[in-house]
Amino acid sequence: WYGEIQVGTPPQNFSVVFDTGSLDAVIPDLSCESCFEHKKFNRELSSTFSDYNESFYAEFATGVGVDPSISEWLLYSAVRDEVSVTGLPAVPLDMYLITDESVGFWAAPFDGIFGMGYKGDGSFFQTLVKQGLDPIMGFWLTPTSVGRAEMTLGGVDESKLEGKKVDYIPIPSGAYGFWQLESTQFAVNGETNDVLKQIRQVYFDSGTANLQFPKNTTEAIYALISPKIEAFGESGAYGIPCSEIASIQARVDLTFKDEAGQPVILSIPPQELSVGPFRNNKTMCQTFINAGFDQNFVGGSLLKHYYSIWDQMNARMGFAA
């Protein structure tokens, strides 16, 4: 999910992912010869631009669809300029301009990423808050078939909440940078096991299309779904014969506690099991959980089935189905 922002004076338009799992703002620079399909920022045209004259290199794995890359990289420089989004005045923002990038980013449908992290200094969201915006956001990350996804800054879209119960879950007191909640259990169709009956921190990431859990958690969930799910490739992906998908009705439940200490279950419905066929093997479908880092990241597989409220003011997140 991505939307339009404006950078510089006069403004130059870019499409960016509003990423709750990041603190950084990153868009392509005019000098980036490898940024073929993306809009590029022309610093010479902006009267409010300033350059910190610092360059950086970053390497990481991506997770936006089938066949996640083993390693992608960016070269970028630190700069500052005015940034605005529809309906809000421009604010000065420290950000990064991409000067070179690896192949995996060429086909991305968006130009860059704007961090919306929790309490993290320097993110686009925190910069808006410092300028007087109420520290709360609402996300309606609808499936592609539904369309009309939206983000509300400084409040929520009350029309999306009419007739719905909102479950509020507190954010741990030490949280910084990530929107995280404490889960007491994972389960599949109500069934769990020793690995899944553990207290763990879950990070909610609007910039992640699916789910990414530690390997033991990933395989414990898949063991409850189907023995035909197996590791596929070298990047933490798993797959199942596409012919098996229709026969599997596996709902994944994540349990939390609300502000009164009562259990709240957030569910990922069975239709999320398959991300789609692998590009190099059309008979195998990638499943929705990748085994990766030690942390638990929850993205679109869950978020697109709820209206989510990201309430920094009251240190909580809300979910309405």
Q: Would you please indicate which residues are annotated as catalytic (active-site) residues?
A: 19, 205
* Other CB atoms within 10 Å distance of the CB of residue 147: 7
Q: Which two tokens stand for residue 156?
A: 């929520």
Cβ atoms of 207 and 19 within 8 Å: the answer is: yes
b/e string for 111-123 if b means 16 or more Cβ within 10 A?
Answer: bbbbbbbbbbeeb
* Residue 266 · residue 222 · CB < 8 Å: no
Query: How would you list the strands of the sheet with 180-188, edge to edge?
Result: 263-268, 252-257, 180-188, 200-204, 296-298, 211-213, 289-291
Residue 37 tokens read as 């399909």
